[in-house]
Structure 1
Amino acid sequence: MLSRRLFLKSSAIIGCSAAAHPLLSSIAFASAPGENRLVVIILRGAMDGIDVFQPYGDPELRKLRQKISLGPDQGAHDLDGFFALHPSLSSLMPLWKAGELGFAPAVSTPYRDKRSHFDGQDMLEAGTGTDLDVFQQRDGWLNRLLHNMPGAESETAYSVGTEQMRILAGDAPAKSWTPKINLKLGPQARMLLQHVYHDDPLFREGGLEGMEIASQSMDRIKEKKGPTRDARELARFSASRLNGDTRIATFSLSGWDTHARQSVTIDGALMSLADAILTMREDLGKNWSKTTILAMTEFGRTARENGSGGTDHGTGGAMLVAGGAVRGGQALGKWPGLGESDLYAGRDLMPVTDIRAYAAWALHDLFGTERGALESSVFPGLDMGENPRILA
């Protein structure tokens, strides 16, 4: 029988692909009073914010990276004279110019140093301040929000897997939904499962056969629909619910764990994110003007690229905000710098703002949730600070 220790050891060997495994992808919904809508997209695998929103105006960037994140000279789109948008998000530039896209650099949860995808994602979705709180707090911050919203109801659903998204887990009633999409296994996930099944005669042959079927099925989907079909399906279904009674939606997108050849491997994840946002914008119609999207990841990546042209697990990351209700066209917060003395532990982007504070102010401005409830119940122990005014 496969032990947890062997599974975790195998995960580390393969490169943490299990943390962003497609079987864990899920989607959840909640209804709430009022007309404002909130969409939270969890980017599983630790998105490199320095690559997505490239601080090319920082003179230290080129000392840390020669193959990635080099700004407008390499095809990125200038945003404000200091930051540039990754070329694979070029389709979102009209939103930036329309004030419907923004971002917050140098953000993180209070999670530090251990840099585990599993723990980082748990803390992000639980909304807690320490590792210990994650184990004690079994529900998620969106579910706790509902308890502070009179008349709110919740229902949850899953895209591919059988596990509920923790961010909306809790006492609220749950339902399920499975979109008509096929299982997708990336190279790292296949290697992980082959390693796990290798010594198990019961599952080895069946597992290998199943992976081959999944691979052939996904090849046909790519030929017909393109590589970002899953993201569009999740966004389209979310929009259909948000056009009804639903006011809060959350789903996850994987593919952000870019340890090697990042200039190539990050493209698919970025295009999926862009497609999800644009699909939602199109399908929401007039309700887009009342919608706020927060795209959040468990932590950032190292400031310095590694020998494989990728980046390793870090600390400070970035949060993307979009929607017709946001005050876009700007970078929120401060930039800490990339000098050696500016980095966290001499290796990572220094977090400047607790990402929970941005989420809390969004909830305050969207739904009128009281600050006291946000700081004590929804995000225990959080100091929200001053209002960054995410909304227009």
Structure 2
Amino acid sequence: MIDRRNLLGTGLLGAAATLFVPRIAFAAVPTDKRFVFIIQRGAADGLGIVVPVGDPAFAGQRGMLADVAEGGVQLDPLFTLHPALAQTGQLYGAGQALFAHAIASPYRERSHFDGQNVLESGGSGPYTVKDGWLNRMLSLLPPDDARAMAIAAAIPLALRGARDVASYAPSNLPQASDDLIERVSMLYQDDAQLHGLWDQALATRLLTGDLAADNGRNAAATGDLCARLMAPAEGARIAMIETGGWDTHAGQRQRLAGQLRGLDAMIGAIRTGLGAEWANTMVLVATEFGRTVAINGTGGTDHGTAASAMLLGGAVKGGRVIADWPGLAAGSLHDGRDLRPTTDLDSFIAGAIAGHFALDPAQTRRVLFPQAQEGPMVEGLV
């Protein structure tokens, strides 16, 4: 259900958006462009997703996890994609997906809460900026296009701010038991009208849970929901999806594979559900920080620094990996343990959004990341 603060119908999105006077100049003309931000809460292991099998130090550093890329799509001589990302690999082959590696926000500690705050607020440090960069982005868009939706149990920080946004969220009533959920599912199984509505409700119940749940079917349902909320002409143009379960301290092989299958299903469902509008869509996937280069004693990895990010969609100039690769030899690591950041995530995001919506890159970075230092932009992403 949607709470009183938020949208009661997709037709109200445009009306709500026009109540606010934008702070910054609009894009030149209205646009059909759509943008989705999928946050990976828990610090996703970029080295296990876009796997640097061509780095001479990789196998020795990763030990029992060195073979995780077997069967995956070879992206270039250095990188291979995890095999669980099958549909994503197809998008890469079609030039509709790119990956950025050794990338990080300005945050250099290893707290999930602080790291996510920096990632979502767009500040240079934790709790230095009170609203979110995705909300501030709405001020750069024409009024009729500034319609945003959070597919989450509550509006995430990245979408909080002066601009009103909508949310599609599960009820705040106490959690029902799994036994009750199963009984109601059986009751509605043969009901042509209620079966689909019940499945949609279940899809929101675990929005911030593990993508691996139910073999990725819940994640696919969430992606389909996102597409259906964005596909109509009067629907949302900006959306954010929360995903959790990326903290792989132990048993990473199975855990990460399950997470990636779910993410892959979600991305595939967004692409399929948007149909022709996929050509106008950009999907960003990013996490608060990466994980250690070496594995720990429980077959997992600990909190790290640099990670990988994804940019997908028909509007993306894909088929490539963007990486100023620092190497995985011991002397090249950050703090002697982590992948060293060489690409600024803020500049990457600002460059992607500026290109996608035909905005001025420098102005876009100032609005989205007001505390960022001036420097080179990551351009040519669309």
TM over 0.5: yes
**Secondary structure of 2:363's match?**
helix
Alignment match, 1:107: 103
Instruction: From the two aligned structures, give the one with the greater helix fraction.
Output: 1
Confirm or deny that 1:251 pairs with 2:247.
no
Mapping 1:302-341, distance limit 5 Å: 302-341=292-331
Cα deviations by residue, 1:291-325 (Å, 9 ceiling, x for unpaired):
11110101000000111110000000000111111
1:158 positional shift: 4.8
1:67 positional shift: 1.4
Supply the distance in 2 between the matched residues of 1:90 and 1:214 (Cα, whole angstroms). 35
Confirm or deny that 1:125 pairs with 2:120.
yes
Asked if the contact 1:56–1:71 (Cα under 8 Å) also holds between the matched residues in 2, the reply is: no
Asked if the contact 1:375–1:381 (Cα under 8 Å) also holds between the matched residues in 2, the reply is: no
Confirm or deny that 1:97 pairs with 2:93.
yes
Alignment match, 2:289: 299
Match of 1:164 among 134, 155, 166: 155
Alignment match, 1:13: none
> How many residue pairs end up in the alignment?
331
1:213 positional shift: 4.6
Cα deviations by residue, 1:114-169 (Å, 9 ceiling, x for unpaired):
x1111111111111112251xxx22100111112324143454454x2x3111111
Task: Report the CA distance shift for 1:216/1:351 in structure 2 as closer, same or farther (over 3 A).
Answer: farther
RMSD: 2.9
Q: TM-score normalised to the size of structure 2?
A: 0.79
Match of 1:55 among 30, 52, 55: 52
1:249 positional shift: 1.1
Confirm or deny that 1:88 pairs with 2:80.
no
Cα deviations by residue, 1:16-51 (Å, 9 ceiling, x for unpaired):
xxxxxxxxxxx9997693111111100111110000
One-letter amino acid of the structure 2 residue matched with residue 304 of structure 1: A
Structure 2 runs not aligned, ≥5 long:
1-5, 18-29, 187-198, 203-212
**Secondary structure of 1:39's match?**
strand
Q: Deviating runs (4+, > 3 A) in structure 1?
A: 27-33, 152-159, 210-222
Asked if the contact 1:55–1:84 (Cα under 8 Å) also holds between the matched residues in 2, the reply is: yes
1:215 positional shift: 8.9
Asked if the contact 1:155–1:172 (Cα under 8 Å) also holds between the matched residues in 2, the reply is: no
Cα deviations by residue, 1:177-200 (Å, 9 ceiling, x for unpaired):
2369x99xxxxxxxxxxxxxxxxx
Cα deviations by residue, 1:336-355 (Å, 9 ceiling, x for unpaired):
10011111000000011111
Supply the distance in 1 between the matched residues of 2:299 and 2:184 (Cα, whole angstroms). 27
Alignment match, 2:227: 239
Alignment match, 2:272: 282
Q: TM-score normalised to the size of structure 1?
A: 0.77
Alignment match, 1:21: none
Supply the distance in 1 between the matched residues of 2:68 and 2:138 (Cα, whole angstroms). 41
Supply the distance in 1 between the matched residues of 2:134 and 2:331 (Cα, whole angstroms). 37
Asked if the contact 2:279–2:314 (Cα under 8 Å) also holds between the matched residues in 1, the reply is: yes
Moved more, 91-100 or 307-316: 91-100
Structure 1 runs not aligned, ≥5 long:
1-26, 184-205
Alignment match, 1:345: 335
Task: Report the CA distance shift for 1:353/1:286 in structure 2 as closer, same or farther (over 3 A).
Answer: same
Task: Report the CA distance shift for 1:149/1:212 in structure 2 as closer, same or farther (over 3 A).
Answer: closer
One-letter amino acid of the structure 2 residue matched with residue 140 of structure 1: G
Alignment match, 1:366: 356
Supply the distance in 2 between the matched residues of 1:254 and 1:218 (Cα, whole angstroms). 26
Identical amino acids, percent of aligned pairs? 36
Cα deviations by residue, 1:243-300 (Å, 9 ceiling, x for unpaired):
1232211111111110011111112210111011111111111111111111010100
Supply the distance in 2 between the matched residues of 1:292 and 1:158 (Cα, whole angstroms). 16
